[in-house]
A and B are shown apart, each in its own frame.
Chain A
Amino acid sequence: MAGRQSSPILEVERLRTHFMTRAGIVKAVDDVSFAISAGEIMGLVGESGSGKSITGLSIMRLIDVPGRIVGGRIRFRGEDLAAAPEQRMRALRGSRIAMVFQDPLMTLNPLLRVGTQMAEAITAHNREVSRTEARARSRDALGRVGIPAPEERLDAFPHQLSGGMRQRVAIATAILNEPDLIIADEPTTALDVTIQAQILHEIRKLCRQTSTAMIWITHDFAVIAGLAGSISVMYAGRIVEQGHLDDILDRPLHPYTRGLIRSVPSRNRRGRPLHQIQGSPPNLLALPGGCAFRDRCPHTDDVCNAEPDLELVRAEQAARCFHPQLEALA
């Protein structure tokens, strides 16, 4: 559905990443497909444990044992990353595909200066760049993400910067080599709301300027609204709904998506209690057969004991549900 105009820069096809734990196989990512074109921002939405971060790490090929990509393709500019040798992946990481992590307080090495940690992202991919030049490029990148006095910040240690500053440093590091794709794993979750808004604004600007594609991983529809073009909603390792942001926000098909959207505070429902989804995310080690959302769903019936497929319900909006909700959200 994504990438109507240009050919996609990244196509994930039936990706499956499993963890072979002592207690059994955890299917953290199970049959996930999506595509993104240059300059597009895709939201990957879901609760904790839904597999959205593992999807991001799978694209980076940073899954550690006991995890493993067991199936599917990750086509990045035509090349299958799922089968690429580690050497090749290292050349792509940080250069063509960059990643920003969730906790800004933990994302920088506490023992190294900011400048060192930025410059190494440049020199790792191009040995001919001098230290002075790497430093100058790092300084410019800090300026682009709105850090005042970037020259001084290069000599700072991470603990001397605030959380918002550190996340900007991480984002600046990600854009150093002007990658084609940035995977942002809840980068604003740990920040307060005003900083969050500033960073979102700057990221949108950056993506537009450099036509960088971005996967924005979040559990919060409020963050993704107004940022992303398309959205994939994940639940228990699978995509349960996929489509354009506006379509999904107005008329979500899957009961889970509806629950997520209705749990966002809104001006229209001021004073009323927030909606909450019944139950808790399922244990991935003991998934019930059939629809994984069955036990928490208000519309469940006997049909749901069978496994639903992700099917187009409307033009460019697909859902993995036997009872897609067709009416608009109140």
Chain B
Amino acid sequence: MPKGVTKITAFIIRRLLQTVVVLIVMAFGVFVSVYAIGDPVDMLIDPAATEAQRLEAMRNLGLDRPLWEQFARFIAGAAQGDLGQSFVYKIPAIELILLRLPATIELTVAALILAVGIGIPAGILAGLYPSAWFSRTIMSVSILGFSLPSFWIALMLIMIFAVALGWLPSTGRGDVVTVFGVDWSFLTIDGLRHLVLPALSLSLIPMALMIRMARAGMREVWLTEYVKFARAKGLSPIRVIGLHAFPNTLIPIITVLGLELGSLLAGSIVTEVVFAWPGIGRLVIQSIGVLDRPVIVAYMLITVSLFILINLVVDLLYAVIDPRVGYGDARK
């Protein structure tokens, strides 16, 4: 046992060190690209300002220093948890993002729950009865989920459920409850109603993916001898499917789920804009518009960290699911 634990610890440490390198390289990339796009000062000050005012503003923001020095200062600050102040809001960028992050997490998690809760059972069903009419329906729906652009689906949902039927609200988070200083919509009825449409629209692509993966996995696993053997033991269909077949399809499913969770957290931008959902996606779009570099960098660092963290958890889950997975050094 202790040997296995050491191995996992070494694995996690190795992964975290890689993460630090990735984060530094990425921060540098953002610095260079924002520098290449233009001068934030032009966006921030009054166009009629004098040259002296302009220089003053640049000095205040530290933009008068050469790029390498700005970057070095940023890294020094980041090492102490300070990612700089937003040029626009004049508050720490990290605070700005953490303020908006819960809304995005809430939306993403709700969308993934829908995707998994509907997509996986539907996929299993389609895998078990590949030629039944309902399986064909499920597969057609999943093709639509893949191919229709998400902004269009979002607009259609708004048109049908908010405008025509008037059942659900289409903008904002509705009533929120504050827990541990963070606002949550899903704890109030009104908030939940506000959550339905954006979550549904965001869930369609991952749902289509889950349907396809669960179906393909079930079809493959159903032909294996261990599933036949399980059936030959006279087990109930629920046990054969739930314990012998489905768990053996999980490794690819949670891999994709991890990637989807990461990319939804970082990329629910369109959905957040369409539904006026005050998450980090909308924040970063606004910040890019005014070249608010500290916010952009902080956003990138946080989403990349989340991405890496999620994938680390996924890697650790492999071993929970499959006893054959170990965490030795791959080079050995």
Contact = CB atoms under 8 A, between A and B. Distances in A.
B139 to A, nearest CB: 17
A110 B233 contact: no
Contact of B224 (A91, A106, A117): A106
A17 to B, nearest CB: 15
B225 A62 contact: no
Contact of B235 (A60, A98, A124): A124
B225 A101 contact: yes
Nearest to B237: A90
A47 interface: no
Contacts of B322: 110-111
A93 B244 contact: no
Interface residues of A, number: 32
B146 interface: no
Contacts of B225: 101-103, 106-107
Interface in A40-81: 57, 60, 62, 64-65
B45 to A, nearest CB: 62
Contact of B226 (A106, A120, A125): A106
Contacts, number: 77
Interface string A107-118: 111111000010
B206 to A, nearest CB: 24
A107 B231 contact: no
A93 B323 contact: no
Contacts of A322: none
**Most chain A beta-carbon neighbours within 10 Å: one of B222, B228, B321:** B228
A315 B230 CA distance: 41
Given A101-B229, A102-B225, A92 B234 contact: yes
B247 interface: yes
B323 A111 contact: yes
B25 to A, nearest CB: 38
Interface in A93-107: 93-95, 98-99, 101-103, 106-107
B327 to A, nearest CB: 16
Given A65-B131, A120-B235, A124-B239, A107 B229 contact: yes
B248 interface: yes
Interface in B90-139: 131
Contacts of B222: 64
Which DSSP category, helix, strand, loop or mixed, fits chain A's interface?
loop
B321 A111 contact: yes
Contacts of A65: 131
Contacts of A60: 232
Contacts of B234: 90-95, 121, 124-125
Contacts of B323: 110-111, 157, 159
Contacts of A124: 233-236, 239
B166 to A, nearest CB: 46
B324 A109 contact: no
A70 to B, nearest CB: 18
A98 B235 CA distance: 12
B144 interface: no
B233 A159 contact: no
Given A106-B225, A109-B226, A157 B324 contact: yes
A57 B236 CA distance: 18
A170 interface: yes
B243 interface: yes
A317 interface: no
Contacts of A242: none
B226 A90 contact: no
B308 to A, nearest CB: 27
A94 B233 contact: yes
**Most chain A beta-carbon neighbours within 10 Å: one of B222, B226, B235, B236:** B226
A173 B229 CA distance: 10
Nearest to A123: B235
A76 to B, nearest CB: 14
A107 B231 CA distance: 11
A117 B131 CA distance: 31
Nearest to B230: A109
B228 A62 contact: yes
Nearest to A173: B233
A307 to B, nearest CB: 33
Nearest to B224: A106
B163 to A, nearest CB: 45
Given A94-B234, A106-B225, A173-B233, A159 B239 contact: no
Interface string B37-66: 000000000000000000000000000000
A120 B233 contact: yes
Interface in B243-275: 243-244, 247-248
20 contacts: A90-B234, A91-B234, A92-B234, A93-B232, A94-B233, A94-B235, A95-B234, A99-B228, A99-B229, A107-B229, A109-B226, A109-B243, A111-B321, A111-B322, A111-B323, A120-B235, A124-B233, A124-B234, A157-B324, A173-B233
Interface of B: 131, 222, 224-226, 228-236, 239, 243-244, 247-248, 321-324
Given A65-B131, A93-B234, 13 more contacts: A62-B232, A64-B222, A93-B233, A94-B232, A99-B229, A101-B225, A109-B226, A109-B243, A110-B226, A111-B323, A120-B233, A120-B239, A170-B229
Top 5 A-B pairs, shortest CB-CB distance = A94-B234, A94-B233, A93-B234, A106-B225, A99-B232
